[in-house]
């Protein structure tokens, strides 16, 4: 298993304003209950207060890199859950949001 | 004034089913101007998204769509056009009415249940991870606002349509937090509708009750996965997926669709029963307040089914899709 990123889940009444890049990680998307929200969606779409921000690196990263990512995000935001993202045999071992 | 409605003909048997349904709608006097849009295999084969942005924008603009069945490609990275539409239009309420149709063989006489399935969260959030090479997890996401809006939608529909009972279905005895939240929200919402009798059922018990005491049920409301399963069970009780209609509602838009797949092996054979898509179109006409046209189609369909001379293969007949539609048109009064 190759560590390549992290999904960081935030408790926030609105979409969290998070950095687009932190260390080796680039923000790929923000989603809410599996639905990608940083693209055109229904005008009155409703969301929960639990947001997922996917940070992905284009190379293998260390667990310490993920800890540093969380430290940076913790300065302004409340995260409730983190899921490390892995590749297995070159394939993403995680789903993509709609 | 005519209604502008987005038409997605779909894949497999979708185009021929749409042709049949449009024939009937034209004859009904419904005032509809169709706006054609694509989704499914055609755009996908051109390298475009399975639901192109233009299609999403058209539905947002015109608010109502009728959709033929679409094929979900199987394989790595493929997405479902149906789920994409629901997610991107926030169509949170799936309505699946089932009732005994005249002339359609079923042991479940006097069936009359409307099922509301939450459409956007639960295991259908499709948030999945391998956490080790040997363990995959899928997040079952149940939110209070997501639960509340489907529950309120179901109760409001029951109130507006004179229904007397709403039952929430869950597995809160095992999933005490996620399904427990759905059940707790159901109990809170139910208090705002004192004229409607509220009850709750554990999903496995509901399966057993449905096939033994179906007359006891009126309106059911369920989280996404249970709704998916129970609504197909109920479609079978009605006579099969070939006759079961469906609709998906958001705050702004509604998409009406048959619940069956695109049956690609029958594509171009003029064989498949158009009743499911036609009854979905009837739901659409009622949504558009085209009540007379809706009643005219429904009564003509009932006459054809009752008479039994023109039947598609799934109901034991030999008529083709277009002949069945023509028989409905001929029976319209």
Q: Is a pLDDT exceeding 60 seen at residue A40?
A: no
Residue A35 CA to residue A98 CA, distance in Å, equals 5
Q: Is a pLDDT exceeding 60 seen at residue B76?
A: no
Mean pLDDT of B78-96: 90
Do B248 and B224 fall within a single domain? no
Min Cα separation B141/chain A (Å): 7
Using a CB–CB cutoff of 8 Å, tell me whether B89 touches chain A: yes
Do B77 and B134 fall within a single domain? no
**Measured between beta carbons, which residues in chain A are less than 8 angstroms from residue B133?**
1, 88
Q: Is a pLDDT exceeding 50 seen at residue B53?
A: yes
Residue-level pLDDT at B246: 97
**Measured between beta carbons, which residues in chain B are less than 8 angstroms from residue A44?**
90, 250-252
Per residue in B98-110, pLDDT (tens digit) is: 999 999 999 999 9
Do B27 and B79 fall within a single domain? yes
Of B238, B257, B273, which one is at a domain's C-terminal end? B238
Q: Is a pLDDT exceeding 80 seen at residue B73?
A: no
Do B314 and B291 fall within a single domain? yes
CB contact under 8 A, B90 and A86: no
Q: What is the 3-state secondary structure (H, E, C) of chain A?
A: CEEEEEEEEEECCCCCCCCCEECCEEEEEEEECCEECCCCCCCCCCCCCEEEEEEECCCCCCHHHHHHHHHHHHCCCCEEEEEEEEEECCEECECCCC
Nearest to B263 by CA among B6, B7, B16, B8: B16
What is the average pLDDT score of chain B? 95
B42 is catalytic: no
Q: How confident is the model at residue B78 (pLDDT cuts 50, 70, 90)?
A: low
**Measured between beta carbons, which residues in chain B are less than 8 angstroms from residue A46?**
90, 92, 145-146, 149, 251
Given A83, A93, A98, which is nearest B87 (Cβ)?
A98
For the residues of B307-319, what is the DSSP string, one character each? H-SS--GGGT---
Do B248 and B227 fall within a single domain? no
Q: Is a pLDDT exceeding 50 seen at residue A66?
A: yes
B129: left (phi over 0), alpha (psi -120 to 50) or beta: beta
Give domain status of residue B177, yes or no: yes
Which of the following is catalytic: B124, B140, B226, B271? B124
Residue B185 contacts residue B148 (beta carbons within 8 Å): yes
pLDDT top residue among A44 and B259: B259
Residue-level pLDDT at A75: 95
Residue B49 contacts residue B80 (beta carbons within 8 Å): no
Of B238, B263, B291, which one is at a domain's C-terminal end? B238
Do B216 and B327 fall within a single domain? no
Residue B75 contacts residue B266 (beta carbons within 8 Å): no
B28: left (phi over 0), alpha (psi -120 to 50) or beta: alpha
The position carrying tokens 């489907």 is B150
What residue numbers bound the domain in which B81 lies?
1-93+239-333
Q: How confident is the model at residue B247 (pLDDT cuts 50, 70, 90)?
A: very high
Residue-level pLDDT at A41: 64
Q: Is a pLDDT exceeding 90 seen at residue B80?
A: no
For the residues of B216-230, what is the DSSP string, one character each? G-SEEEE-HHHHHHH
Give domain status of residue B9, yes or no: yes
CATH code of residue B70: 3.40.718.10
Enter the ipTM: 0.94
pLDDT top residue among A15 and A44: A15
Per residue in B286-320, pLDDT (tens digit) is: 999 999 999 999 999 999 999 999 999 999 999 99
Do B87 and B137 fall within a single domain? no
Per residue in B112-135, pLDDT (tens digit) is: 999 999 999 999 999 999 999 999
Do B159 and B264 fall within a single domain? no
Number of domains present in the structure of chain B: 2
Architecture field, domain A2-92: 2-Layer Sandwich (3.30)
Do B190 and B116 fall within a single domain? yes
Residue A37 CA to residue A47 CA, distance in Å, equals 9
């Amino acid at each position: 298993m190759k560590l390549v990123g992290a999904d960081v889940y935030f408790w926030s009444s609105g979409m969290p304003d998070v950095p687009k890049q932190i260390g080796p990680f680039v923000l790929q998307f923000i989603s809410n209950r599996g639905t990608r929200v940083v693209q055109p969606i229904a005008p009155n779409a409703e969301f929960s207060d639990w947001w997922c921000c996917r940070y992905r690196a284009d190379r293998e990263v260390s667990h310490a890199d993920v800890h540093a990512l969380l430290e940076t995000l913790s300065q302004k935001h409340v995260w409730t859950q983190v899921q490390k993202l892995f590749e297995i045999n070159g394939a993403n071992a995680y789903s993509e949001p709609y | 004034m005519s209604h502008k409605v987005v038409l997605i003909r779909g894949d497999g048997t979708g185009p021929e089913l749409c042709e049949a349904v449009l024939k009937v709608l034209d004859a009904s006097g419904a005032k509809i101007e169709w706006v054609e849009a694509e989704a499914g295999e055609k755009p996908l084969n051109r390298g475009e998204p399975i639901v192109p942005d233009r299609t999403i924008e058209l539905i947002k603009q015109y608010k109502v769509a009728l959709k033929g069945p679409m094929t979900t490609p199987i394989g790595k990275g493929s997405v479902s056009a149906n789920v994409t539409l629901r997610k991107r239009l926030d169509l949170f309420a799936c309505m699946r009415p089932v009732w005994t149709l005249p002339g359609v063989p079923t042991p479940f006489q006097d069936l009359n249940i409307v099922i509301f399935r939450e459409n956007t969260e639960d295991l259908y959030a499709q948030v999945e991870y391998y956490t080790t090479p040997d363990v995959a997890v899928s997040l079952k996401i149940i939110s209070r606002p997501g639960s509340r809006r489907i529950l309120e939608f179901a109760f409001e529909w029951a109130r507006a349509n004179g229904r007397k009972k709403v039952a929430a279905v869950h597995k809160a005895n095992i999933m005490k937090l996620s399904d427990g939240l759905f059940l707790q929200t159901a109990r809170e919402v139910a208090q705002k509708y004192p004229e409607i009798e509220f009850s709750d059922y554990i999903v496995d018990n509901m399966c057993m009750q449905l096939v033994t005491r179906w007359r006891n049920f009126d309106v059911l409301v369920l989280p996404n996965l249970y709704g998916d399963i129970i609504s197909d069970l109920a479609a079978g009780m009605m006579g099969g997926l070939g006759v079961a209609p469906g609709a998906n509602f958001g705050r702004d838009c509604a998409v009406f669709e048959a619940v069956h797949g695109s049956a690609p092996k029958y594509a171009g054979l003029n064989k498949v029963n158009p009743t499911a898509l036609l009854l979905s179109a009837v739901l659409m006409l009622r949504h558009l307040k085209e009540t007379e046209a809706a009643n005219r189609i429904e009564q003509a369909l009932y006459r054809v089914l009752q008479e039994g001379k023109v039947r598609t293969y799934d109901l034991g007949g030999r008529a083709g899709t277009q002949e069945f539609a023509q028989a409905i048109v001929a029976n319209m009064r």
